[in-house]
Amino acid sequence: MNPIYARSAFETPMRGNMRILGCYLCSLLLCLMSMLDRPAIAQAGDWQQLFGGKDLSGWKHVGPGGDNVEDGLIRTYGGMGLLYWTGGKIGNSIIRVVYRMRDANDNSGVFIRIPIEPREEWMPVHYGYEVQIDNHPETSGEDEYHVTGTLYSLTRPLAKPGKPGPEWNTMEITLDGPRTVVVLNGVKVTDYTEGDPVPERKFDFEPQRGPRPLEGYIGLQNHSDQDVVFFKEVALRKLR
């Protein structure tokens, strides 16, 4: 066979294989890029229930007010205080909280990334993050940076899907390294990564600005006598 034709016969399937390989690598790259734009997927283990529905075993309260278990639900009263989980620091996890307000609107919050075990109620405010529960912050002179699903006073909501009392709400907070994503009733409200810009403080009760740890304690806020919130589920699932 002529060497020229022999080389052409060899190169033709090679070119086809290279095109197939190129398409595969392109698809793989697009897949990896899409994965970078969403939280890591929970792959290890099942949901761990942090509240058993009978008592507050594994939980401890600091500050004024408190929490009771009524009809299998955590009920807040008085405040401002914090009920925190004593099981240790949490990071690279999804925290699922199912709650409802007693009234059309009540105030509470889910605290995350608290650097040390709390001994009073204000340290978590200034050195952790509060994922806010308050559908109508304007009634107390606050703006949308204080609405349900935001990192309180730090992030602007991507949506406002909070349901009024007594409807149930499901909040999932993903702690993925330095990234915090909050999904409320299936809709993403917050997607924040450490170092993203935040507004200046407007009130002295707002948290101090600054970085938070990758792992920290979590807690549920009891805000005041006028604000009653019920929690049906607090669950944890590790990422990766």
| 157 plus 78 within the same structural domain | yes
| 78 plus 195 within the same structural domain | yes
Domain residues for the domain of 117 are 48-238
Give the model's pLDDT for residue 240: 76
Q: Distances in Å between the alpha carbon of 27 and those of 20, 39, 195, 221? A: 11, 20, 31, 45
Of the pLDDT bands very low, low, confident and very high (cuts 50, 70, 90), residue 19 is low
Interval 16-45 mean pLDDT: 43
- Does residue 7 surpass a pLDDT of 50? no
Residue with tokens 């608290």: 114
Whether 150 maps to a domain, the answer reads yes
The mean of the pLDDT values for the chain is 87
| 5 plus 79 within the same structural domain | no
Q: Which helix (H) or strand (E) holds 9?
A: helix 3-36
Interval 167-191 mean pLDDT: 98
| 218 plus 116 within the same structural domain | yes
14 three-class SS = helix
Counting the structural domains of the chain, the total is: 2
- Does residue 239 surpass a pLDDT of 70? yes
183's CB contacts (< 8 A; 6+ apart) are 171, 172, 174, 189
Encode pLDDT of 96-151 as tens digits.
999 999 999 999 999 999 999 999 999 999 999 999 999 999 999 999 999 999 99
Interval 159-185 mean pLDDT: 98
| 32 plus 61 within the same structural domain | no
Q: Give me the amino acid identity at 4.
A: I
Structure tokens at 214: 């990758």
DSSP classification of residue 157: -
Interval 62-68 mean pLDDT: 98
| 56 plus 23 within the same structural domain | no
| 22 plus 105 within the same structural domain | no
Using only C-alpha atoms, what is the Rg of the chain?
Answer: 24
| 168 plus 52 within the same structural domain | yes
Interval 145-159 mean pLDDT: 98
Whether 43 maps to a domain, the answer reads no
Give the model's pLDDT for residue 45: 60
Interval 44-72 mean pLDDT: 94
- CA 66: distance to chain centroid? 23
| 132 plus 26 within the same structural domain | no
